Amino acid sequence: MISGSELAATVGSKSVTSFPKIKAILYDMDGLLLDTEKFYTDVTQEIVSRFGENFEWSHKSQMLGRPALESARTLVRVLELPIQPEDYLAEREALLNQRFPEAEAMPGAIELTRRMKKARVLQAVATSSTKEAYTLKTTKHHEWFREFDAIVTGDHPDIQNGKPAPDIFLVAAKKLRVLPRECLVFEDAPAGVEAAKAAGMSVVVVPDPQLNQEMVKSADLKLNSLLEFKPSDWCLPN
């Protein structure tokens, strides 16, 4: 993995032809396009505090980007909570649904996606969120999300396994009618990076600064923000 500041030199030494021809961009949503991760953190802390526990980044990093039930099982096991994963999810969902409609865009997200749309680059959202949660999270952004060429949610019938399995990205590529190697994925979570690489796609990661960076080292490029992304480095139109 290389950083944004190192990419130009790397491209210069490898030549841009070393990178696959990108025809489509696939975006994760939570923590990448929309600033929703803080909701998950706050709500989970509210729940686990009743049992005298703290929800720390060492716990969250194991849950990021994964299917809800798998994440819940991890939380209950790691913190040894005296509740069932399903009970935690039910309580969490009720609390999250109150917060999701207030989700704001992450820095640079709207600008980048609209820039690529103007350049006629195919774009899709590939989120582990259910269709219901997706609808709530995009409450303030209907116009923006209508601009994507495809939306794939985690409960799509063709997705057998959630991230880090490649299913969701392969479904998105199929919807856009492009090959996996022609896709560039934007992710913020370790499971999403794994899923993109398993799908045979290139991946740019924009991780939370608190995340152990070793967990996303397989990404092709690491950025601090979407504002740093330079389309020309991937032979994409500016």
Instruction: Cite the active site residues.
Output: 28, 30
Residues 6+ apart with CB under 8 A from 200: 166, 180, 181
CA distance 107 to 227: 7
Distance of CA 157 to the CA centre of its chain: 20
CA distance 187 to 86: 27
Q: Where are the alpha helices (DSSP H) in 80-130?
A: 85-99, 109-118
Contact between residue 212 and residue 186 where contact means Cβ atoms under 8 Å apart: no
Using a 10 angstrom Cβ sphere, with 0-12 exposed, 13-18 middle and 19 or more buried, the burial of residue 65 is buried
